[in-house]
């Protein structure tokens, strides 16, 4: 039925993410699907923003978030359920 399940994870609100991952884990267990856990990091590559940070700050920030997402996945996804993790960068756009 399903081969891939994308699960957005807000590491700032893990209680919400917990519920989504629990449901996705159950669904993956039923179908053998791979979970794809994704979190977003606000982009700091804007030249004005970037000027306030050391040169490798964006790389280090992304690595820290990836480590946090990995720790979250290790807590939430049981052995036997395949998953991968991704950290995207970008800008939140609010729509009215």
pLDDT tens column, 29-60: 999 999 999 998 876 666 666 667 777 877 88
Domain at 4-88, CATH class: alpha beta
| Position 96 pLDDT exceeds 60 | no
Across 20-34, 43-57, 62-76, least confident range: 43-57
Bigger pLDDT: 45 vs 7 = 7
CA distance 52 to 13: 27
Q: Among residues 79, 77, 39, 83, which one has the least CA distance to residue 61?
A: 39
Single pTM value for the model: 0.82
């Amino acid at each position: 039925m399903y081969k891939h399940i994308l699960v957005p994870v807000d590491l700032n609100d893990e209680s919400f993410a917990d519920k989504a991952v629990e449901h996705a884990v159950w669904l993956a267990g039923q179908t053998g699907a791979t979970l794809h856990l994704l979190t977003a990091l606000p982009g700091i590559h804007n030249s004005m923003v970037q000027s306030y940070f050391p040169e490798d700050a964006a790389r280090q920030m992304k690595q820290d978030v990836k480590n946090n997402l990995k720790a979250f996945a290790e807590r939430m996804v049981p052995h036997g359920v395949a998953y991968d993790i991704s950290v995207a960068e970008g800008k939140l756009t609010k729509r009215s």
